[in-house]
Amino acid sequence: MEENQVNDLIYVNSADAMSYALEIAGVGARSYAFVLDWHIRLLVALLWIYLAAFLFYDISIFSTLFEEDTANAAAGWVVFLPAVIVYFFYHPILEIVMHGTTPGKRTAGVRLITLEGFTPGIGSILIRNIFRLIDGLPGVYTVGLLVAIFTKNHVRIGDIAAGTVLVYEKHTGKQTLSDVAQQSLNSSLSTENYDLLLELLERWQQLGKPQRIHLGQQFLNKIGDELLTDDQAQLKTHLQKLAGE
């Protein structure tokens, strides 16, 4: 796949010569998602420290097995180590598990993708998060924020290293998408056009209304010669309706 970028859109060209335009998330959306995630991970870490300290306040259970100093050290590890893991590994773990999103990103309506338009793999996510050590300097993500402000795609150093970008995530009605998918199964589309339709539906949620209308019409023009049966005509109707949402 090839990609070309202009202004605040990233254009992704598939092997079928279909062009998809995804809106790049600005610094405001990026900052909003980060602030939400920062509060979530901080609250979870503090909650664990509070609960663990409460549970292990009386460390006599340790001192029966170890010396007092060893018991204090063991209790300290139990209280603070999980909190440290939650705080520092929150982003990479959730971005892997949630396929490029976190609770903060999802609330802000943004998603992490590669420059080719795919969900980033584990390697890219780990590289992106390792560079938080640089982006976070000298504090409150000053370096990352400044780089995101002045770079073309509003990306920080971690994104540049990993080849990733944040885009706005668009949502469409599940029922209408289901209608199109079901209707495509009942039609006699060629294998090539059926695969093309599945690719289009897979990317649909990330497209804005103008892109949906354009790509929907582009696909309908491509399969125009095949629309000979009632099933295919219904498929055309469903796709036109979906493009207009």
The pLDDT tens digits along the chain (245 residues) read: 444 444 477 776 554 445 567 789 999 999 999 999 999 999 999 999 888 877 766 555 444 444 556 656 667 777 888 888 998 999 999 999 998 999 999 999 999 998 887 889 999 999 999 999 999 998 878 999 999 999 988 999 999 999 999 998 865 444 444 445 555 544 555 666 666 777 777 777 677 667 766 776 776 666 655 444 445 555 556 555 555 55
CA dist., res. 177 & res. 205, Å (int):
10
185: amino acid identity, one letter = L
Query: What is the rounded (10 degree) CA torsion for 39, 44, 46, 50?
Result: 150
CA dist., res. 145 & res. 131, Å (int):
13
C-beta separation of 57 from 51 below 8 A: no
C-beta separation of 155 from 147 below 8 A: yes
22: left (phi over 0), alpha (psi -120 to 50) or beta: beta
List, in order, residues 6 or more apart from 232 with CB less than 8 Å away: 187, 188, 189, 223, 226
CA dist., res. 119 & res. 239, Å (int):
25
- Rounded to two decimals, the pTM is 0.63
